[in-house]
Amino acid sequence: MTLLVVTAVQPEADAVRAGLDDRLTVTAVGVGPAAAAAGTARLLALAEAGGRPYTGVVFLGIGGGFAGRVEIGGIAIATRSIAADLGAESPDGFLPIDELGFGTARVDADAGLVATLRAALPDAALGTVLTVSTVTGTAASTTKLTARFPDAVAEGMEGYGVGCAAAGLPFAEVRTISNVVGPRDRAAWRIPAALAALTKAAGALGLA
């Protein structure tokens, strides 16, 4: 499989490259689902036009982990990436786009890629990774998310966008954890630990 590996920002790309020894192309495509989708789609189109198409896409990045499901410095592998805030508000609560009949907020990860990553990273948490445009920063918002997605292990801002851009190609999302999802406390973030875990996670891609 010829994998396209993408991250949101350059420090993540650098951490991933450190674990790959230049075996795969790694590109930062931007923060948020729209930028990540556009950047990924452009890279896929350029590769196909050049006669060297990619046959799979993997997003690696740092993110928040849900308490009790994955620790800071740990690794989460997505079984599916869900756009958790794509939908509409209503007096009865949030209505996901699936219920509105306008498509789906879910991209399933490729079972083969997930199995390969999990075999190489047996301590990783496995479950839903949520994509949000606004990072969760209150206890109330966290409670609502965990009620809607009881199998959610982590939160980020790009996975669903990258998964949509993959457009049927095998796709996977991996998050390493810099902070606990909940009340925003920047002083408690452990970004160096998450970047170090990202380097470790990248090594698993050499097996894919």
The token pair that represents 9 in the structure block: 């920002």
pLDDT at 18: 92
The pLDDT tens digits for 67-125 are 999 999 999 999 999 999 999 999 988 999 999 999 999 999 999 999 999 999 999 99
DSSP single-letter state for residue 109:
P
Between CA 145 and CA 155 the distance in angstroms is 10
- pLDDT value at 207 more than 60: no
The pLDDT tens digits for 161-184 are 999 999 889 999 999 999 999 988
pLDDT at 208: 56
Between CA 122 and CA 125 the distance in angstroms is 8
Between CA 64 and CA 26 the distance in angstroms is 22
- Give pTM, 2 decimals: 0.93
Report the percent of the chain where pLDDT is more than 90: 88
- 52-66: burial string, b at 16+ Cβ within 10 Å, e else: eebebbbbbbbbbbb
Mean per-residue pLDDT of the chain:
94
- pLDDT value at 23 more than 90: no
Say if CB 146 and CB 152 are below 8 A apart.
yes
Degrees to nearest 5, angle at CA 35 with 95 and 52: 120
Tell me the average pLDDT across 128-138.
Answer: 95
Tell me the pairing of strands 152-156 and 56-65. Answer: antiparallel
Query: Domain containing 46 — which CATH number?
Result: 3.40.50.1580
The pLDDT tens digits for 191-205 are 999 999 999 999 888
* Number of domains present in the structure of the chain: 1
Between CA 15 and CA 192 the distance in angstroms is 10
Tell me the average pLDDT across 16-35.
Answer: 91
Domain membership of residue 20 as a residue range:
3-207
